[in-house]
Structure 1
Amino acid sequence: MSTMTFAPHQLPTVERVQTRSVRLTRRGRLVVFMFGVLLAFALGVWFAAGSVATQEAGVEQVEVVTVAPGETLWDIAADAAAVTGEGDVGDMVARIQDMNSLDSSMVYAGQDLRVPAE
């Protein structure tokens, strides 16, 4: 039989590991700041890409009316105000002028006008 012997030995002492703090230079701080700004911008673009506009809520329904001989803009606006349920004919005249880019309330027979619909 063989015998094994262990010689006592001393364990190495654990030395304190010095921790070094990270010190950024002025350029390093600028790089870190710009990285944060670009990251925030990229996240903003990514979240904004998910928003989608629809035509249902914002499009005003219009109908095209042809001006008859002897008909005035006031007559057309009165009919449109009655159809849409708006009571003020003067406001409807202004809306029709805006929608058709009219400078005055003068209309001609046979002229096509966009008029608000229901």
Structure 2
Amino acid sequence: MVVTGMRRVDEPAPLRLTRRGRVVVLAFFILLASLASAVLWTTASRAENPPSGPAPTVVVQSDDTLWDIAARTDPVRSPHAVVAEIRRLNGLGDEEIAIHAGDTLVVPRTR
């Protein structure tokens, strides 16, 4: 074994990155971060967008009221809010209370 200076000849040299190597490593990490943020952004935007397809509807039964339909459709939310949304979706004014059996109403999507 030959010792020259501080390092033995049979030992591998320590890993050193050249300027080009540092640029490549930095570019790799930037690319990796960009891909990760793109995946997270598309996943988050899908969660915010409502599902596509036809809006859910319900056919009014003989003894139904808007309050009953609201409670059945979205039992988690306040019936006041759901009734207001049903009115808005179906173009019903505040003064229109009457709904009739056989009417088809668009109801809000449940979250």
- The TM-score range, normalised by the shorter chain, is 0.3 to 0.5
Give the greater-gyration-radius structure (CA): 1
TM-score (norm 2): 0.47
TM-score (norm 1): 0.45
